[in-house]
Amino acid sequence: MNITIGGNGTLVMTEEYRHFIVQERGVFTLQDNITLTLTNEPHRLGGGIYVNAGTLHMNGGEITGNKAIRPGFHFTNGGGIFVRNGYFFFNQGSIHHNSADYGGGISLMGASTLIIHEGQIHNNHAYINGGGIDSQRSRGLDSIRIIHMYGGSVRYNTAGFSGGGIYSFLTQMQLRGGEIHSNTAAGHGGVYASSFDSVISIGPNMRIHDNTPPNMHERAQWFSLSRFIFPDGYRFAIALLIAILGTRFTRKSRKSRNHKFRYSKF
């Protein structure tokens, strides 16, 4: 089924539901100046739109002010848009001021593909990873996700832990054009890519700048200097634990040496 929504209106959700669910083999197109806003989605996946093995084309409009609400102890994904085993072609428009635990603007899972030609992803917030975009694995076996960016911008997004602009795990990224700038996180403010499984290709027309911390992406090994200069929340906790254990071991070693030294005189 193919559905197109356009015009100059605003769609506001007064109940606790998403705006749209795009099911398998469905094609949904958002265009013109239509705005989707003010959802509080209690099912944790996709505050504005949930793409479940379907295809979403965004040729204009806005997705703003949507939230994926945590039910109980479950984490949330995709404040604006959540894609599982589907396709999202972002051609024009704006995704902004949405929030979730993972992927304040957009969250990808499974064998999903995100193609960004133009458009703005800005001022979204993730309480954990991926302020603008989060691409992560599902439970159990997983597939590689794909992110290709040819234009547009990812800017002024924030994350509580890592990947203020983009957080990726098991992802192939081709960043060919556009800008990723002014994003903020506790660690890796611009682009975070897991050094174990993600592949990044950056073209000459891509600009990554003014992110906080200022590293554009991280491909170094676990104990690299840059990871400890700009740690994300997880590595900071591990580094702190190692420091505490190291201090206790050092103290025990000193006490043992002092004990042996005292008794060696007799």
Residues 6+ apart with CB under 8 A from 257: none
pLDDT digits (tens, 9 = 90+) for 49-61: 999 999 999 999 9
Ranges 28-42, 179-193, 221-235, 249-263: which has the least confidence: 221-235
- pLDDT at 258 > cutoff 70: no
Q: Which two tokens stand for residue 148?
A: 């290709």
Mean pLDDT of 7-16: 72
- pLDDT at 130 > cutoff 80: yes
Classify 256 as helix, strand or coil.
helix
Q: What are the distances in angstroms from CA 74 to CA 101, 113, 213, 215?
A: 10, 24, 29, 31
| Whole-number Å distance between alpha carbons of 22 and 52 | 6
- The count of C-alpha atoms lying within 13 angstroms of the C-alpha of 56, restricted to the half-sphere facing its C-beta, is 31
The whole-number pLDDT of residue 194 equals 74
Mean pLDDT taken over the chain: 81
Model confidence at 144, in pLDDT bands (50, 70, 90)? confident
Of 72, 127, 71, 74, nearest in space to 100 by CA? 127
Indicate the residue type of 20.
Answer: F
- Of residues 58 and 11, the one with the higher pLDDT is 58
Bridge partner residues of 199 (DSSP): 172
| Whole-number Å distance between alpha carbons of 261 and 266 | 10
Mean pLDDT of 142-165: 93
Give the position of tokens 């040496």: 257
- pLDDT at 62 > cutoff 60: yes
Residues 6+ apart with CB under 8 A from 86: 22, 51, 52, 53, 54, 55, 56, 112, 113
pLDDT digits (tens, 9 = 90+) for 95-117: 999 999 999 999 999 999 999 99
Q: Which two tokens stand for residue 175?
A: 């960043």
Mean pLDDT of 238-255: 65
The alpha-carbon radius of gyration of the chain (Å, integer) is 22
Classify 54 as helix, strand or coil.
coil
The whole-number pLDDT of residue 226 equals 38
